[in-house]
Structure 1
Amino acid sequence: MIFVRPPSDLEPVAFDAIAGFGEDDLDAAFPVFRRSAERILEAAQEQRPACPPPPELIAAARAALEGSESGAAFFRRWFEPFRLAKRGFVTAYYEPEVEARRAPEPGFETPALSRPSDLVTLNDAPLSLASGEALTSARRLRDESLIPYPPRREIEEEGAATGSIPLAYVADPVELFLIQVQGSARLRFPDGTARALTYDGRNGWPYTSVGRLMIERGLMPEGAMSLEGLKAALRDMGVGPGQPGRRLMQKNRSYVFFRVDESKDRALGPIGGEGAALTPLRSIAVDRSIWCYGLPFWIAADVPWESEAPTHFARLMIAQDTGSAILGAARADLFFGSGARAGALAGRVRHEADFHVFLPKKDPSP
C-alpha cells in the first residue's frame, strides 16, 4: 500500500527556522486538523480518494482527539517540518453563492445536473486511451464494459448524461462552469430558501484551464486575468449554443456533477475531497496522488487575501481537498470561503509560494 509519496529533495528544518511560525494562531488551525482526524480514525469514505494516511498520521489523529495539548504543542510534538526545495505555486478557490430556480424560466435555463446512473469512478485503475490520456471516470455499458464518458459538449448539447436530473437552474453556462470549477455552491431561491450543492463525480476527462486558453489566444492579457474578468469576457463572446464563448468553455471536456447536500457537516461549509467541511484560509487542495488528506502544510506567499493588493500570507494549512488542476508536490489551492468577496479575491491568486510539509513523526516522544 502506498501511503505518501513526497519528493526526494525535502530538506528537514526546525520549527523555529520557519519565518512567522511562532506568530500564527495554531490554536485556530488545530480544530481544522481535528476535523480531518475524525475522518481518518473513522476510515470514512473519501469523496475523491487520495494516498491513504500512514500509521504515524493515524496515531497523530488519535492523539489530537484524545489529548489536551494546545495547538502549538501538538504540532511540535507530533510532526517534523520539511521544506520543499522547489518553489511552489498557489491559486485559490471559493464557494459560489448564486441565484437559482427550481424549474427553468427565462434567465434561468442552465441546469446543474445530478450524477448519471451509468457513471463509474476509476480512481485506482483509470481508463487508458490510445491518445495516451487516462480517464478517471467512464461509462459502464450493460455488458459491464467501460467506454469514455461523453465530454462537456455532448452533455450540454445532446443530453448525453444518462439518468442525470436537473437539481436546479442557474443564470447561464458561465455561472454553471464556475460552480463546476469550484466544486460546490450554495444556491439561493426567490422564496429565501437555499440549497447546498456538493461535488458528486465528474466525467473523467482531463481538466483544461479556459483562462489559460484565453491568455494563449490573446483574448485577455495575463496580468488582467481575474474571475470577474473571465466571466465578463466569456459572456461578451456569447455563450449560447455554438457561440464562441460557449465553444471555448467546451474545450474543457471535464464536466462535474452534483448532489443536494443537507448533511450536518455541509452546514459548516463546503465539503472537500476528504469528505470534511472546509475552513476558510485554513483548508487547501493538494495533489492527491502525492499527499494524503490531513497533512499540515506551512505556506508563505504574497497574495491578495485581505484586499486586492497582495499582502504577506503565512500560516498553517490542512490538506482537505484536491482538484484536477492541482498537480505537483509544491502546488496548492487555498480555500478562501464563500460568497462574492471571497470569489473576487480568489480569482486573482496565481502566485509563487514557499512550501513546508509537516510529516508525522515515527517517535512523537518529547
Structure 2
Amino acid sequence: TLPDDKRGFVTAFYEPELEVSATRDDVWKYPIYNRPDDLIDLDDDNRPSHIDPYYAFALEKDGQISEYPDRRAIDQGYLEGRGLEIAYAKSKVDLFFVHVQGAARLRFTDGSLKRITYSAKAGHRFSPIGRLLLDRGELDPATISMQTIRQWLQDHPDQVDEVLWHNRSYIFFREAAVEGLDLGPIAAAKVPLVAGRSLAVDRLIHTFGFPFFIQSQSLTHLDDGKPFARLMLALDTGSAIVGPARGDIFTGSGDEAGELAGTVRNPADFTILIPKEAAERYS
C-alpha cells in the first residue's frame, strides 16, 4: 500500500431533505433561486481577458461581461424582486449545505415534496469553510467533518455570515422530477445516482460511465466496520473534486445518508477499469 500522501482521497455526498415554504415570512426567509437571466455561459469565444479562465459563468449587463455577484452580494439582496425563488428555507446553514451538495428534496409545509438539482453557479471558485476553520485553529484536523462544522456554526451564530461568505461560490437550482425516490437525484451523467455505487470525479480528467474499484482500509463505517472495497461508476462531478485520484461517494438521500457522508475523509486507492484494447494503447 502506498503512503497516504501518495494515495487518492475520498469524501462523500448525499441528497439532503430540506424543510421549506412556498411563501416568505419572518421564519421562512432564505430563498432558493432559479438561474437568473443575466447569468451567461462563458467559453473561450466570449470570455473577456480580465476574467479568470476558471470562470464558466459571468454577468452580462448593458452589453458588458463581468464577474457575477458572489454569495455575500446575493445573500444581501442582489436577486430580490425578480421572481426567481423556488422556495424559502428557515435555516441559512441548512441551505448552505444544500448548495454544497448540489441537490435536495424539498419538503413543503403542506407535506408536498419537490426535488431540486444543480442548474448553474455564479462562477466563483468553491472555497471550503472547513479549511477556513482549520486554518484559524477552530477545528481539529483529526475530527473535522460536516457534523463538527455544523456544530461550530451553531455555537457561533454571530460569525455565520462571515464564515459562509468566505465561500463566494453560489449555486442556482432547477426543479427536477420527484419520481423514483428510491433512487438519488439525476447526476451530471444524466442518470439517477445509486447509493454506494455512484462516484463523483474530476470531469476534466475522467469520462462519465467508467468503472472504478475504490479501496480504503480506514473507511469502515459505510460497510458495517469492514474496509471499503467496492466497484463504482463515475457518474457525477463537483467543483471540489479535483485530481485523477479524487472521488466523492454518493451515500443516498435524507438525514441518515447525511450522517454517513459527513464523516468520510479517507485515503483510498483508485483502480480504473478500461477495456484491454484501450489499456494496450497506454502500455
Does TM-score exceed 0.5, indicating one fold? yes
Are the structure 2 counterparts of residues 324 and 221 from structure 1 closer, same or farther at C-alpha, using a change threshold of 3 Å?
Answer: same
Deviation at residue 227 of structure 1 after TM alignment? 1.6
Q: How many angstroms apart in 2 are the aligned matches of 1:330 and 1:356?
A: 9
Is residue 284 of structure 1 aligned with residue 167 of structure 2? no
3-state SS of paired residue (2:137): coil
3-state SS of paired residue (2:166): coil
Residue of structure 2 in register with 1:321 after alignment: 236
Q: How many angstroms apart in 2 are the aligned matches of 1:183 and 1:331?
A: 18
Q: 1:157 aligns with which of 68, 76, 84?
A: 76
Deviation at residue 97 of structure 1 after TM alignment? 0.9
Residue of structure 2 in register with 1:172 after alignment: 91
Q: How many angstroms apart in 1 are the aligned matches of 2:44 and 2:6?
A: 28
Q: How does 1:1-366 map to 2 (within 5 A)?
A: 86-122=6-42, 127=47, 134-143=54-63, 145-160=64-79, 163=82, 165-238=84-157, 243-262=158-177, 268-301=183-216, 302-306=218-222, 311-362=226-277
Gaps (5+ residues) in structure 1?
A: 1-18, 20-84
Gaps (5+ residues) in structure 2?
A: none
Are the structure 2 counterparts of residues 195 and 293 from structure 1 closer, same or farther at C-alpha, using a change threshold of 3 Å?
Answer: same
3-state SS of paired residue (2:263): coil
Size of the alignment, in residue pairs?
275
Deviation at residue 137 of structure 1 after TM alignment? 0.9
**Equivalent pair of 1:271/1:277 in contact (CA under 8 Å):** yes
Q: How many angstroms apart in 2 are the aligned matches of 1:196 and 1:248?
A: 27
Q: Larger deviation: 154-163 or 185-194?
A: 154-163
User: For residue 292 of structure 1, what is the amino acid of its counterpart?
Assistant: T
Name the structure with the higher helix share. 1
Deviation at residue 345 of structure 1 after TM alignment? 1.4
Deviation at residue 353 of structure 1 after TM alignment? 0.1
3-state SS of paired residue (2:154): helix
Are the structure 2 counterparts of residues 188 and 130 from structure 1 closer, same or farther at C-alpha, using a change threshold of 3 Å?
Answer: same
Q: How many angstroms apart in 2 are the aligned matches of 1:123 and 1:353?
A: 34
Deviation at residue 266 of structure 1 after TM alignment? 7.6
**Equivalent pair of 1:151/1:254 in contact (CA under 8 Å):** yes
**Equivalent pair of 1:116/1:162 in contact (CA under 8 Å):** no
Deviation at residue 127 of structure 1 after TM alignment? 4.3
Q: How many angstroms apart in 2 are the aligned matches of 1:162 and 1:355?
A: 47
Q: How many angstroms apart in 2 are the aligned matches of 1:204 and 1:121?
A: 9
Are the structure 2 counterparts of residues 339 and 135 from structure 1 closer, same or farther at C-alpha, using a change threshold of 3 Å?
Answer: same
User: For residue 102 of structure 1, what is the amino acid of its counterpart?
Assistant: A
RMSD: 2.7
Deviation at residue 303 of structure 1 after TM alignment? 1.4
Report runs of 4+ in structure 1 exceeding 4 Å deviation: 123-133, 160-164, 263-267
Are the structure 2 counterparts of residues 267 and 123 from structure 1 closer, same or farther at C-alpha, using a change threshold of 3 Å?
Answer: farther
C-alpha distance after superposition, 1:112-135 (max 9, x if no partner)? 111111112336669477585621
Deviation at residue 347 of structure 1 after TM alignment? 0.7
Q: Larger deviation: 338-347 or 297-306?
A: 297-306
Deviation at residue 223 of structure 1 after TM alignment? 2.3
| TM norm structure 1 | 0.69
Deviation at residue 174 of structure 1 after TM alignment? 0.5
**Equivalent pair of 2:114/2:178 in contact (CA under 8 Å):** no
User: For residue 260 of structure 2, what is the amino acid of its counterpart?
Assistant: L
C-alpha distance after superposition, 1:203-246 (max 9, x if no partner)? 110000001111111111122322222112113222xxxx4211
User: For residue 98 of structure 1, what is the amino acid of its counterpart?
Assistant: L
